Amino acid sequence: MSLLDVRNLEVTYAGGARAVRGVDLSVEAGQKLGIAGESGCGKSTLALALLRLLPAGTKVSGEILLNGEDVLTMKWGQVRAVRWAGASIVFQGAMHSLNAVHRIGDQIAEPILLHKKATPSGAKKRVGELLEHVGLPAARADAYPHELSGGQRQRVMIAMALACDPGLIIADEPTTALDVMIQAQILRLIEQLVSDQDLGLVMISHDLAVLSDTCDRLAVMYAGRVVEEGPASQVYENARHPYGKALSAAFPRIGDVASRFAPRGLPGDPPDPSALPTGCTFHPRCPVALDVCATEDQELRNAEPGRRAACVHVGAAVTDARSTTA
């Protein structure tokens, strides 16, 4: 049984935006999966869906099996238990996720107490340990968020994510708001913590280079779909889907905010998810599109063992996508 097994996940926002369309993914304990793609491709929607954090009125279907249990059919009490203790999320902007008027130690202690993982005095001790774990002195527990730098605040968010010993960490652009040196430190910290504790990691970034450094496998998303998936170094160095190729050819540098919006050499933008193009949704931007791409949707196909890509130029169609990644 996988730690996380996402099957045919579809997310449609109340306004009709089809932000995630038929995504299949799996993560084993100790495995690091990277999800790449330009801004607007559905990465955050996917992350939020995993813990049912999407706004009311959003239509979600498919299966999200966390340790074999479907998050989508759980009762709310169970969902609350799974958040923090089963899986937790580290978001991009630590300043917005932390409460400005509470000491960080109390904020880290909150999920520990909520989930009855420790007594109040036990929680205090655990907060000190967690802070040291993420490279901050235990005494910083008394600080308010504004007394910390951006990198330190992101360390606090990571401490909070680890507080209830989850099996899976979901990190959504955890370093995008930080400067280059600090980004590298935080990524190394996350990588080290998940390896030490044999956790699963879903790391989301617009930056394929960052992901290929950190992750074992990579999935490239375009217009709400996974269009390419495989071992990280192979996808980065030799992408099989034209979109994956464009992302890796862009060589976006860490901290290059512009590369997030338009990979160099790839004109245009991802489509509006409430008005998707017919056929392959990438065809209007694709340098190697054929006539058929404007009319025929492309499913993920086997590119080679352990690698899949959704492009007419790649291999033969597979009927059961999951059978190729086991």
Binding-site member from 22, 42, 111, 200 for ligand ADP (CB under 6 A): 42
Catalogue the E-assigned strands of the chain. 4-12, 18-27, 32-36, 59-66, 69-70, 87-90, 168-172, 200-204, 217-222, 225-231, 301-304, 307-309
Task: Select the residue whose beta carbon is closest to Mg ion and give its number.
Answer: 44
Instruction: Indicate which of Mg ion, ligand ADP, none lies near residue 73 (CB less than 5 to 8 Å, by partner kind).
Output: none
Binding-site member from 55, 77, 120, 305 for ligand ADP (CB under 6 A): 55
CB 219 within 8 A of CB 201: no
Minimum CB separation of residue 272 from Mg ion in Å reads 16
Minimum CB separation of residue 51 from Mg ion in Å reads 15
CB 218 within 8 A of CB 230: yes
Binding-site member from 44, 175, 176, 248 for Mg ion (CB under 5 A): 44
Only segment of 37-45, 104-112, 137-145, 233-241 that touches ligand ADP (CB under 6 A): 37-45
CB 240 within 8 A of CB 228: yes
# chain residues binding ligand ADP, by CB under 6 A: 14
CB 119 within 8 A of CB 103: no
Question: Interaction with ligand ADP in 270-309: which residues (CB under 6 A)?
Answer: 273
178 binds ligand ADP (CB under 6 A): no
# chain residues binding Mg ion, by CB under 5 A: 2
205 binds Mg ion (CB under 5 A): no
Binding-site member from 41, 51, 104, 215 for ligand ADP (CB under 6 A): 41
260 binds ligand ADP (CB under 6 A): no
37 binds ligand ADP (CB under 6 A): yes
Instruction: Indicate which of Mg ion, ligand ADP, none lies near residue 192 (CB less than 5 to 8 Å, by partner kind).
Output: none
Residue closer to ligand ADP (CB basis): 84 or 91? 91
Minimum CB separation of residue 242 from ligand ADP in Å reads 19
What are residue 9's DSSP bridge partners?
Answer: 23
Q: Which residues contact 212 (CB under 8 A, 6 or more apart)?
A: 34, 218, 232, 233, 235, 236, 237
Q: Which residues contact 126 (CB under 8 A, 6 or more apart)?
A: 109, 112, 117, 118, 163
Q: List the structure tokens of 214.
A: 């950190």
Minimum CB separation of residue 42 from Mg ion in Å reads 8
φ/ψ of 311, rounded to 5, equals -145, 140
Q: Which of 207, 223, 314, 227 is nearest to 268 (CA)?
A: 223
CB 77 within 8 A of CB 92: no
Residues forming contacts to ligand ADP in the complex (CB under 6 A) are 13, 15, 17, 19, 37, 39-45, 55, 273
Footprint of Mg ion on this chain (CB under 5 A)?
A: 43-44
